[in-house]
Structure formats: C-alpha cells, structure tokens
Amino acid sequence: MPLILVIVLVVLIATGVGGYFVLTGDDSSAPAADRPANAMPRLWEAPSPLSQREGQDENGLRSMWFNNDDVIYGDGEGVRAYDRKTGKKKWTVRTPKGAGEVCAMSKQPSQDGVGAVVFDAGGDDCSYLSVVDTDTGRTLWSKNLQDDSGAEHRPRVVVNQKVVAVTIGTTYAGFSVSGGATAWRLTSRGHLCTNSVGLSPQYLAVMSDCPDEKPKAQLALQDLEYPGIHSKVTGEKRPIEQILSDLPLTLVLQDGSSVDPARFLQTYTKEGRPDHSFKLDGELKDLDFDSRSTYVDEDEQVLVAQYGANKGLAAVDLRTGKLLWKKRGSVATAGVDSDGLIAVTNSPDSGASARDPLLLSIGVRDGKEKVKGAVYDPQHSLPAPDAMSLAWNGNDNVLYVQGERLSDDRPSVQAFKAPVG
C-alpha cells in the first residue's frame, strides 16, 4: 500500500540506513476521507539531501532543468538528475578537485543541453565554475576563477548557445561553451568608475558613472554572443538592480537613496534603445522580482512577478505600466504553455482557501484561472507554494515539486500527473 511505503521511507532514512528509496504509485488507494475528487496522481517521490547552505533561493539554486529523459535539480548538496518516469536518481554533477558545495547554477541550460554550476573554491568563496552536459552530467570543462578581491558570495552565471558568462569576483567575462576559451572580458571605462551590472542569458548590461571619463554616465548593453557593445545610452546613471527579460530586454533600475531607492522598470527596443519606463510606486511598489516567479511574455508584453507580503502574483502591462491583475495568498509559477501561465496556489479566485495546493493555468493578460487539479499529499505536508521549487513539463503534463515536508522538514522531489485538457 502506498501509505505503508511512505512510513517505511521515513523510518529508513531516520535510522541512517544507506541507499536510495523511491515512492512510486499514484496514492489513489490511500484511505483518506478528505482526498479531493480532482487530486492529481503522484507518480513518484524521491528524497533529496538536506542542504544547510544559506541562501538556497539565491544564485539560481533550486532551479530545475530538463533533458529528454530527466528532470535535473540543484541545491547546495549538488546538481542531480532524476528519471522523469520513475524518479530514480541517475547522476550527480562531479565536484571539482579542491572544491566544496554548490553555490550557484544557471537558471536554465542552453538549447543544446549545456548547464553551468559554481562551487565553493574554499573559504566560502564561490568561484569554481564547472560546465556540464545535461544529458549525462559529465563535466565538459571547469575553471577556478578565485582571485584576491575577497570571497564571492553572489556569483552569477548564465549559458547560451555560444558562451558561458559570469560575474565572479573581478571576473566579468564570457567563455566559449565548446572549450572554455575566453570569448570576451569586461574592463572598466576609467579608473574612478562606479559600476553596476545586470546579467541574463543574452545580455550584459553595465551602468558606469566615471568622473574621469566622457560621457560621465553611460549604460552599455552587450549581446553576450559577441565581443562588441550592442548599444550605449549616454547619460543613464540609474544603477542596475537586475535584468528581468531578454525579449523585450527589461531592466529594474534604481534612483536616489541607497537605503530606500526609487525603482523603475525600463524596457528597450531590439536595437537597444530605451522604450518604456515606469516608476514602481503605488500598486506597483509591491512587486517582488523573485527569480523563480518572474516571467515576461514577449507577445503580450506582460510582466508577471511575485506580489505583496503574502507572496501572491501580479501582472503588469509593459507598454502602459498598468497593473492588469493580482492574486492573493501564496502563488508560485511553474512554467508556461498554450493554456497560459502554469502556477500553484493555496488561494484560488473562487475565494476558498485550499487545504491542498491547486495547479492552475492563468491567462497572462486577463488573469482568468482554470483549475487543472489538486497537488494532493495524504499527510497534507506540502509547504506553501512560494516555498516550493516548481517546474512544468507541458509535453508530459507533469508538475515537478521540490520542497521540505511540513511534517518532518525532510526535502524531496515529487512528480504529479495533470489531466489533459
């Protein structure tokens, strides 16, 4: 019986027995009187190590990648692949000699199946870059980028079809995917510059304020696949907080006090020229650009992001700056497909708080919800949606969930099958 298997799994782990255990089956025969009629079958559950690393939601950690057969999940304990059909662990990315735990990973691999992982190079300095084949977990090449600038705690790494780009310590550079040769390296415009940098899979954005140079203030946009500057915006002096999207290129900029700066959304044309700019005040002030919940729809020109103290969700028209809709309670995005945004919530628009989280499709522009099913756990131990790491595979109609169980704080990766249609 599935319920008995759950108990056995917990006991074996708690008593320190080695090995790897997978719960399979859909829980459909579990004797739970409160099982909802729309409960989605759970295909499998696989335990994942409990990582003690701080900042597990930063630097791309807790991202999920896909290859043809596996779902790949990473945290401080490593980056590992699980068979999408069975949940069996297939491989773990090798830790380079002399390196420690995982510090960061690219949010997504390239279209050619190349991902990037950053390890602790020693002394809590997150500077050891490894580039991996996501089909096999094999390390293609690695570089220790540790320097004498001090320990790096917030490394950034992205991958596209041509380069792996990083901001690690004083290294702002792109390396060839195929062999790791330096494709380009960013250097300062002057000796007294104050710089801020944003990095995305396609662009490097650099704002530089240089008293000893002309122009004094400048924003430079570089397409990561090429060594030259894509475009320059003279006079732009607002520091860069982050890049939200490549299509359209969308930045969060700051202005004013460093303690409580005003924040702006700024979009750019394909030629790299400023397009629309909106101050994040009024209703927009509650937008929170969490890396796993932020999504930009290129066709609809709509930005979706976490919203409010309860970690809901909201959408903004990038042409007008208008707030299109907002969702209450805890909501988190899992992906997007033809039905719209795929999300998990505990507070649907119907008004009733859901005991079990619900999988929804949400219209990107109108916010209309369609419930696909309940993410049902017989013990009701799933955390709030905003505390989960989620991934949606529309080809298989499967939702992947990683999180720590409320009953015992033990993390696992689970797969739930959603109905078609």
pLDDT tens over the chain, length 421 residues: 333 333 222 222 333 323 334 555 555 555 556 889 999 999 999 988 777 665 566 788 889 999 999 999 998 889 999 999 999 999 999 999 999 999 999 999 999 999 999 999 999 999 999 999 999 999 999 999 999 888 999 999 999 999 999 999 999 999 999 999 999 998 889 989 999 999 999 999 999 999 999 999 999 999 998 877 789 999 999 999 999 999 999 999 999 877 889 999 999 999 999 999 999 999 999 999 988 889 999 999 999 999 999 999 999 999 999 999 999 889 999 999 998 999 999 988 876 667 899 999 999 999 999 999 999 998 888 999 999 999 999 999 999 999 988 888 888 999 999 998 7
**φ, ψ dihedrals at 8, nearest 5°:** -60, -40
Same domain for 130 and 231, yes or no, is no
User: Domain containing 112 — which CATH number?
Assistant: 2.40.128.630
Domain that holds residue 91: 46-185
Q: Which of 129, 164, 185 is the last residue of a domain?
A: 185
d(CA 72, CA 376): 22
* Last residue of one domain, picked from the residues 281, 310, 331: 281
Is the domain of 209 the same as that of 295?
Answer: no
Of 415, 421, 413, the residue nearest 85 (C-alpha): 415
End residue of a domain, out of 249, 281, 313: 281
Q: Would you say residue 245 lies in a domain?
A: yes
Same domain, 58 and 72: yes
SS3 call for 288:
strand
Q: Where are the beta strands (DSSP E) in 155-214?
A: 156-159, 163-168, 171-176, 182-185, 194-199, 203-209
- Scanning 265-333, the segments in alpha helix (DSSP H) are none
User: Are 154 and 261 part of one and the same domain?
Assistant: no
Q: Does residue 254 sit in the same domain as residue 321?
A: no
| pTM metric for this prediction | 0.89
- Total structural domains in the chain? 3
Distance CA 371, CA 394 (A): 15
* The two three-digit tokens of residue 43, written as one number: 């295909």
Question: Same domain for 287 and 271?
Answer: no
Is residue 12 situated within a structural domain? no
In a domain, 126, yes or no: yes
In the sheet that holds 89-92, the strands lie side by side as: 64-66, 70-75, 78-83, 89-92
